[in-house]
Amino acid sequence: MKQLFITLSLAALLASCHSNSTEQENKAANSAANQATEPFEHVAEQFADLRVLRYQVKDFDALDLKTKTLLYYLYEAALCGRDINYDQNYKYNLAVRKTLEALLSTKSHDNESEEFKQLETYAKRVWFSNGIHHHYNNDKFVPECSKEFFIHALSHVDEKYLPLQNGQNKAAFVSFIADVIFNPEIAPKKVSLDSKKDLILSSAVNFYEGVNQAEASAFYSAQVDSTSDEQPMYGLNSKLVKENGKLVEKVYKVGGMYSWAIEKMVFWLEKAIEVSENEQQKKALQALVTYYKTGQLKDFDTYNIAWVNDTASVVDVVNGFIEVYQDPLGKKGSFESVVSIKDFEASKRIAKIGAKAQWFEDQSPIMAEHKKKKVTGISAKVINAVVESGDAAPSTPIGINLPNNEWIREKHGSKSVNLGNIVEAYEQAAGGSVVDEFYYNEEIKKRVKEYAPLADKLHTDMHEVIGHASGKIDTLVGQPHETLKNYASALEEGRADLVALYYLMDPKLVELGVMPSLDYGKAAYDEYITKGLIVQLSRIKLGNSLEEAHMRNRQMIANWAYEKGKAKKVIEKKQENGKTYFVVNDYEALRTLFGDLLRETQRIKSQGDYKAGKALIEGYGVKIDPVLHKEVLARYEKLNIAPYAGFIQPKLVPVMVDGKITDVKIEYPKDFKAQMLEYGKNYALLPSYN
């Protein structure tokens, strides 16, 4: 719930076409010597609707040995959880991935054929999405080659490399796996948010089995202890199944579900504890290990409190079952890990904003009773990612605000981070063609190109540091995921965006010295409206509606402001030469509208007003005008830019002397496929069927 993705931010959309399909397997190109002499290439390749980028870790070599060693252990722990996310996304994802890896590692006369290349592209898409469903729109995708070819290609693969199920022969396996991959009727949607259907039964995610939505909802409602205001996030770390007619949770822990991977993670975390920077960090890591051993959600809360209080460390790590986007009921946490180091320079900007959190809360247009009297523990910094895995890779958030548990946020605060080197990589990989195509005139284009890069950073800072942290829920009203259900994520993201938007046109940001002038705020408004109403439609197939929470919230906000300001032409729809534009005429009036909507979304969250929340999202954030949609798709296609981006991860290599680490080197691989095959070999810690 607390992630902010760049996929829609300007940098990603500005991207020009760098089709670099020639995969270089020149290992020397990865060496440190070449890094120093060649400019860093941020774009690796493009296929389907995806681009693969690379990022750098500033000044890694200058870190001391202890810090590097700590990063290395956390890096290994992160990658040990990679398989878990595949299995969570769909129960046959690991079998599909291992089959594809076996295929791509087998030499045969087919390897140069067109169809084999299509199969390879399919494998890359599976790696990119951690499974057979699109990482963003949730639809199952299929290879472009024929099923017959796939079956033929498998005939060359030795069966000992294939993930056969117990007692299955190769022929039965091939027919099973071909069906999983090619049959559009099988698991068509990863996460369904279609409120007309049973959300669990119509979703392919592997969080429930033999259980329907009503049963699962009742199961978790019954766990809520209304006498305590320190409720854990029930269901976060387990799969809910039916055994002998009874509902049972299979808990992710040492000795439980996913034990093989978790044991290995614990091994590395325990090594990390030995080289921790300070007592607080040590305490947090120890609490994390305890939680992985017990599987108790109370222990996870204890860990989170320790983690929130660890604000002095240079190295930080998110590791666990964290975000609940992949569960249609918003309960189950997907495994992710983000290992990072602090960026001191950039952190100064975000700290200036964080220091004024109470001022922002006091000035907010939300109702007085929904304001926090004391905004606690907002800690914000810019970090540079060192490695990301699970749900956070290859597609990555650019900002993270955790923990997600509301009571911990209210009593102990939260930590907000902005992933500086990831944002930087997006910017470096960018060009200006999207701005030229979708923005109305030269004045606006110039403003967006010049001011949006900083405005984007400020939007992220404000969204994470001030937005998610602001406001409070009325007493006796449950947590948003209980009250607002499947609309909770979109409404929460919308609320945080609105806080950011409202203040991006406030002279306070200029006064604080983080923004040179209000022109940056104007650029942010130009962008938000154009992206929310036009550009983001480029990522949706014709005939479909918006399903993803962040996309829904953006359209909801932009569309609502357009409709409410229509009479006064606050935002004007213009059509010229067959092209549609939305142009902001009155920035001050738009700011007032954003303030009004912020007040309403906060009221909805505070009071748990499901009906009003549903009306906002369904009324403004879901439906797409088919005529405009078709136009946008045609305009976007001409730009030849893949709309989604993800990253190849840096590689940490310890230098060992007599069994001791004497240094850790960082490498920046250039070949996505090679990295994925390497991970598949080194971090395949789970059986194919769990």
Q: Are strands 238-243 and 208-209 parallel, antiparallel or unpaired?
A: parallel
- Footprint of Zn ion on 476-495 (CB under 5 A): 493
3-state SS class at 232: coil
Q: What count of other Cβ atoms lies within 10 Å of the Cβ of residue 218?
A: 10
Q: Does the footprint of Zn ion cover residue 648 (CB under 5 A)?
A: no
Q: Does the footprint of Zn ion cover residue 262 (CB under 5 A)?
A: no
Q: Does the footprint of Zn ion cover residue 498 (CB under 5 A)?
A: no
Region of 4-12, 134-142, 384-392, 679-687 interacting with Zn ion (CB under 5 A): 4-12
CB closer to Zn ion out of 401 and 421: 401
- Footprint of Zn ion on 436-465 (CB under 5 A): none
CB closer to Zn ion out of 339 and 496: 496
| Minimum separation from the CB atom of position 457 to Zn ion (A) | 15
Interior angle at CA 360, CA 358 and CA 365, nearest 5:
125
Residue choice 4, 353, 500, 533 for contact with Zn ion (CB under 5 A): 4
Q: Does the footprint of Zn ion cover residue 71 (CB under 5 A)?
A: no
Size of the site for Zn ion (CB under 5 A): 3
Give the distance between the most distant pair of CA atoms in the chain: 76
CB closer to Zn ion out of 444 and 549: 549
Asked if residues 595 and 589 have their Cβ atoms less than 8 Å apart, the reply is no
CB closer to Zn ion out of 347 and 414: 414
CB closer to Zn ion out of 346 and 398: 398
| Minimum separation from the CB atom of position 464 to Zn ion (A) | 7
| Minimum separation from the CB atom of position 665 to Zn ion (A) | 35
Separation CA 635–CA 579 (nearest Å): 8
Percentages (nearest 5) of helix, strand, coil residues in the chain: 50, 15, 35
Asked if residues 549 and 493 have their Cβ atoms less than 8 Å apart, the reply is yes
Q: What is the DSSP string of 471-522?
A: --PPTT---HHHHTGGGHHHHHHHHHHHHHHHHHT-HHHHHTTS-S-THHHH
CB closer to Zn ion out of 4 and 518: 4
| Minimum separation from the CB atom of position 312 to Zn ion (A) | 25
Whose structure tokens read 């909805």?
Answer: 604
Q: Does the footprint of Zn ion cover residue 496 (CB under 5 A)?
A: yes
| Minimum separation from the CB atom of position 397 to Zn ion (A) | 9
Residue (of 188, 147, 205, 119) closest to 213 by Cα position:
205
Burial class (CB in 10 A: 0-12, 13-18, 19+), 687: middle
Asked if residues 492 and 468 have their Cβ atoms less than 8 Å apart, the reply is yes
CB closer to Zn ion out of 552 and 670: 552
Enumerate the β-bridge partners of residue 574: 581
Enumerate the β-bridge partners of residue 388: 338
CB closer to Zn ion out of 98 and 459: 459
Asked if residues 528 and 554 have their Cβ atoms less than 8 Å apart, the reply is yes
Residue (of 195, 155, 408, 375) closest to 306 by Cα position:
408
Separation CA 186–CA 197 (nearest Å): 16
CB closer to Zn ion out of 163 and 377: 377
Region of 2-10, 115-123, 368-376, 501-509 interacting with Zn ion (CB under 5 A): 2-10
Q: Does the footprint of Zn ion cover residue 6 (CB under 5 A)?
A: no
| Minimum separation from the CB atom of position 501 to Zn ion (A) | 13
| Minimum separation from the CB atom of position 680 to Zn ion (A) | 32
| Minimum separation from the CB atom of position 462 to Zn ion (A) | 11
Q: Does the footprint of Zn ion cover residue 466 (CB under 5 A)?
A: no
CB closer to Zn ion out of 84 and 597: 597
Separation CA 470–CA 482 (nearest Å): 19
Q: Residue 557 has which token pair?
A: 């906000």
| Minimum separation from the CB atom of position 305 to Zn ion (A) | 21
| Minimum separation from the CB atom of position 493 to Zn ion (A) | 5
Q: Does the footprint of Zn ion cover residue 417 (CB under 5 A)?
A: no
Q: Does the footprint of Zn ion cover residue 469 (CB under 5 A)?
A: no
- Footprint of Zn ion on 193-252 (CB under 5 A): none
| Minimum separation from the CB atom of position 417 to Zn ion (A) | 12
Separation CA 545–CA 532 (nearest Å): 14
CB closer to Zn ion out of 94 and 496: 496
3-state SS class at 361: helix
Q: What count of other Cβ atoms lies within 10 Å of the Cβ of residue 7?
A: 24
CB closer to Zn ion out of 496 and 535: 496
| Minimum separation from the CB atom of position 4 to Zn ion (A) | 5
Q: Give all strands (DSSP E) within 570-611, no chain letters.
A: 571-576, 579-584
Burial class (CB in 10 A: 0-12, 13-18, 19+), 644: buried
Region of 1-9, 124-132, 448-456, 568-576 interacting with Zn ion (CB under 5 A): 1-9
* Contact residues for Zn ion, defined by CB under 5 A: 4, 493, 496
